[in-house]
Amino acid sequence: MTLSYNQRDWTVHPSYFSENYKSTHLRSPTKAPVKIEQTNSELTAPSFFSLINHEQENDLTKNGAVDGQQPLGERIVVTGSVVDENGKPQPNTLIEIWQCNSSGRYIHAADQHDAPLDPNFFGAGRCITDKNGIYKFYSIKPGAYPWGNHKNAWRPAHIHFSLFGPAFATRLITQSYFPGDPLLELDPIFQSTPKEARKLLIKTFDIEVTEEGFALGYKFDFILRGPKATPMEK
């Protein structure tokens, strides 16, 4: 078993408090987290492979569609690898995604944005990385949508990603954005990320991944916390 994982790298992760992202004001812890030595609790993770349907639910263009119809919007394929900080592929990692539809509306009952729901789009799916740590999703490019953070606030198009990795310590939930989006510069959530690390949250358009006549291709790789380098092999 891995002896321990590297700490979270706070030069890339956003701080808990963000002046411009208002919801952080009452929800961000004010005291520094207590330092500990990782134990079995942090070094282990549940086996999702047995929990998940082996039919992967990675095609969002189909999993909410009624009677063979199709959701509206620009079809996309998003693929990439999950590796650790040493570049080692992470197989059998559960990835769950959720997003709004092409009009910028989530199916979630709490989303009251006045944009149409798409009867053929659910907006969530999941897959497990293969033996090389590769994942792939088919979906529809999500729209931008307004939110109440400040006057005329709009979220840039994004897909929410949830990853477990090999341990409770490697858990990650994040959002991945699209290249060239003018809203990125104005978005307090994206901007809360340390400047040098922001590019790590933007997908790359890739003509090689693009499927001819079907869907635009984007690449997005995940880097999870890696095992701490040990001075000596035991």
Partner 1 sequence: MSFKQTPSQTIGPFFAYGLTPKQYGYNEIKDITSNNLNSEGTIGERISIEGIVFDGNNEAVDDALIEIWQASSSGLYVTSRNQKNTNDSFCGFGRCGTGTNPQRKFSFTTIKPGSASENQAPHINFIIFMRGLLSHVYTRMYFPEEEVANQHDSFLIKVPKNRRQTLIAKQMSSSKVKVYQFNIYMQGANETVFFDV
Identify residues 11-50 at the interface with partner 1 (CB under 8 A). 11-16, 18, 21-42, 44-50
In the complex, the smallest distance separating the C-beta of residue 74 from partner 1, rounded to whole angstroms, is 21
Decide whether 41 or 211 has the Cβ nearer to partner 1.
Answer: 41
Helix/strand/coil for 224: strand
Residue type, 8: R
Burial bucket for residue 109 (CB in 10 Å: 0-12, 13-18, 19+): exposed
Which of positions 112-141 make contact with partner 1 (CB under 8 A)? 122-126
Strand order in the sheet with 172-177: 124-128, 94-98, 158-163, 172-177
In the residue annotation, 135 being an active-site residue is answered as: no
In the complex, the smallest distance separating the C-beta of residue 27 from partner 1, rounded to whole angstroms, is 4
In the complex, the smallest distance separating the C-beta of residue 114 from partner 1, rounded to whole angstroms, is 16
Which of positions 137-176 make contact with partner 1 (CB under 8 A)? 160, 162, 168-169, 171-175
Cα 39 to Cα 50: distance, rounded to the nearest angstrom: 24
Does 232 interact with partner 1 (rule: CB under 8 A)?
no
Tell me which H or E stretch contains 189: helix 188-191
In the residue annotation, 158 being an active-site residue is answered as: yes
Helix/strand/coil for 169: helix
Cα 179 to Cα 167: distance, rounded to the nearest angstrom: 31
- Of 76, 77, 94, 157, the residue at the interface with partner 1 (CB under 8 A) is 94
In the complex, the smallest distance separating the C-beta of residue 97 from partner 1, rounded to whole angstroms, is 7
Which of positions 200-219 make contact with partner 1 (CB under 8 A)? 200-201
In the residue annotation, 8 being an active-site residue is answered as: no
Does 51 interact with partner 1 (rule: CB under 8 A)?
yes
Q: Which of the residues 5, 21, 106, 138 is marked catalytic?
A: 106
In the residue annotation, 145 being an active-site residue is answered as: yes
What dihedral angle (degrees, nearest 10) is formed by the CA atoms of 130, 157, 18, 21?
-140
- Of 76, 77, 78, 97, the residue at the interface with partner 1 (CB under 8 A) is 97
In the complex, the smallest distance separating the C-beta of residue 59 from partner 1, rounded to whole angstroms, is 12
End-to-end alpha-carbon separation of the chain, Å?
12
**Contact at 8 Å (CB) between 176 and 203?**
yes
Does 66 interact with partner 1 (rule: CB under 8 A)?
no
> Active-site residue numbers?
106, 145, 155, 158, 160
